[in-house]
Amino acid sequence: MTRAASAKKAASAKKAASTRQTASAKETASVKGTASAKKAASAKKAASAKKAASAKKAASKTSAAQKASKKASKGAAVKKAPAAKKVAVAPKKATARLKGTAPAKAVVHPPGDESPTALVRRARRINRELAEVFPYAHPELDFENPFQLVVATVLSAQTTDLRVNQTTPALFATYPTPEDLAAANPEEVEEILRPCGFFRAKTKSVIGLSKALVEDFGGEVPGRLEDLVKLPGVGRKTAFVVLGNAFGRPGITVDTHFQRLVRRWRWTGETDPDKIEAAIGALFPKSDWTDLSHHVIWHGRRICHARKPACGACPIAPLCPAYGEGETDPEKAKKLLKYEKGGFPGQRLKPPQAYLDAGGTPAPPLGAG
């Protein structure tokens, strides 16, 4: 082989090697570039996923915080409502306070937002408690028939039932029927009724209603509200006393004691007797109305007095929003109790046997000490 051919062959081999090296380098670079691109894409994807996870976690924390805040707020509201109403339905604590020797320092008030349902429950519970305290509650006027009851009720205006009971024996002994009283001499009736006070006006009323009974109802007391209120001196209060106790027909007797107590207990804020009657009637079934009237009136006469209630001796103090308005010391409160609760005679000369069986004492007749 010639030197020129050898040189040409060497140059060709060198060129081929250079070409292979270049191709290898390009291939390596390409592989590296692809790997780098893949790595970059992977990193970008990881960063994006991490950012999304972080955002999701933050959103989750925010949502959890909002839910927790909402739950706490709701819990606080729920917790706050019973705490406020606890005063009206916590007999154990209130009873424990009543049994202590130290008087209460604060006046108990129920929540101002007491719901209608809560009011009904509290009112009915008070009535049940009073039924246990006064199971022998009855009308405190002596009577043997509807005529005697309607007359006695008219006479009870502006005086006590005790005074009426001490006066009516002489009246009914002299004028036993509507016909007798309708024909009576007013001056003679006035003399009998003088101890009742306002005896001239009351004489006019009882003679007038007796004449109306004779002329319009055949001498019989009617058993309907619309008829009773037509009689002289007879209003809705007197009519319901007669209907409930002489005829067994339910009615609410809104006298001064009843008016005072239902407002003190926040059963109603009404002051008009007719509106009070409607408001209280909506809280109780009709069958309870007559006995409810007796329970409330008895409690007002014996324990929950107008000027100085005996709060420390009150059986329904835990349910009363006005607890603390009167004497809270138990021993001092006991001295404020009246009639049989205070160890004294009742108001009727001839009370029902149930009252006597319960330890009640009849009232003395007029002029007996």
Nearest to 257 by CA among 356, 145, 147, 130: 130
Tokens representing 75? 């819990």
Determine the Cα angle at 75 with ends 70 and 78, to 5°.
125
**What is the phi/psi pair of residue 266, to 5°?**
60, 40
Q: Which of 237, 288, 291, 329 is catalytic?
A: 237
Cα distance between residue 282 and residue 341, in whole Å: 31
Other CB atoms within 10 A of residue 48 CB = 10
Does residue 88 contact residue 122 with C-beta atoms inside 8 Å?
yes
Q: Which of 255, 288, 291, 329 is catalytic?
A: 255
Query: 């909002």: which residue's tokens?
Result: 66
Q: Which 3 state secondary structure label does DSSP give 229? A: coil
N-terminal to C-terminal alpha carbon distance within the chain: 171
Cα distance between residue 227 and residue 250, in whole Å: 16
**Which amino acid, residue 322?**
A
Say whether 255 is catalytic: yes
Q: Which 3 state secondary structure label does DSSP give 292? A: helix
Say whether 237 is catalytic: yes
Cα distance between residue 288 and residue 248, in whole Å: 12
Contacts of 105 (CB under 8 A, 6+ apart): none
**Which amino acid, residue 242?**
V
Catalytic residues: 237, 255
